[in-house]
Structure 1
């Protein structure tokens, strides 16, 4: 017993030492400078983009005063409004379907944990497969079926992409779920349906909502898969595709304003998702 404890302690000592050394370095002046440079590299371009979206000048770099006229201009642009509506439709439907399927998949995988290794690899494959590969595969699949590309193919593609993320979030909660309360409910005479809605669902609800918000964020931001599966024409263009088509002719404050709105919506949904994850851990 003593020998095993000593072995574990010695094995864990380098890890603890590295963690403590990293924390100590962050508290030093050089560590704070490095941390500041890293965060500056990540977020300074975003801050500049947001600032220039309020620039009164039509030039992308010359600042001539604060103005919200570029946000007002977005409301008068029919192409942007159509793209915003398409994005909202795709995100809502993809989120609903992927949340339902992802939750059911997580429940099935957790209740049959010993037999779900192969299913788990298949379910989480879209998380590790490059977007371009997944986009080409979906395009080939839809073409083989003879389907006309449009919003419906984008929604199906986003469901395939989002499902894995919802499943991973819900399953992380199931790892700490006490299934004995489910068995107790069944022993007391409750049906499987009643047990799910009265016992399992309330416990999983925060993680389900967090997974749904993550899926919504991914659908709003996703470009590559939507670009490949949207088909010809502008009737099924989404906001990321609209931004791409606009920047081909140069970056304008209107593009900055549109990118800021998309980023704001995505960041808000992501922050709420992270907050729900922290709350359920507590």
Structure 2
């Protein structure tokens, strides 16, 4: 089944204005203000201003300060990103999952940065942060029978509003392991990167069921034998997830010249 969607910039802009008028965007910004106090500095901060995590991961005081500054940038960027994501969800009849967790926690981000620097000797904190695409992240979900159409509408809507598609990882096209569609975007106003995962109820369930297994697998202290065992457990869970019709053929939106950012 081939799915085509034509969305004009004028129509989507009007739709966004209408949705903002209903107070959805204001709600997102109000929630964002609450999040500014919801994530205090990482619990694993050391007395000297550095950061210490599991598995021997750590950040120096200077690197920790750089990550803290990046977290503040993410909070500010989220205030303009969230209204568009929520509007796209309304237009595509998506359920927004875990909206209160749209900002990556300090410990989680610092663990990711420290892991990247450990796995890439010589990499500095700025280079590690440049590879981060999910400090602001969202999950949109549809039932299986509306999934492919919903993804198409939501992604084309975001692209028409000037968000650049930077990553499109479609894991519905067979094979073992993770099922779902993970996408990366570059916001037009803040220039900040953000992630949107497109799921069905079953694929989201599988992701949550395997989360702890995945986290353990990523620890530097996990042995190769244990990592293999953890991967097999994840594969068995994702094998239960059905593929929605047309999901394996979904591709990133191509933005027409008239909708490109000036």
TM-score normalised to structure 1 length: 0.28
Point out the structure with the larger helix share. Answer: 1
User: Does 1 or 2 have the higher relative contact order (CA < 8 Å, sep 6+)?
Assistant: 1
TM-score normalised to structure 2 length: 0.29
Point out the structure with the larger strand share. Answer: 2
Query: Which of structures 1 and 2 has the bigger CA Rg?
Result: 1
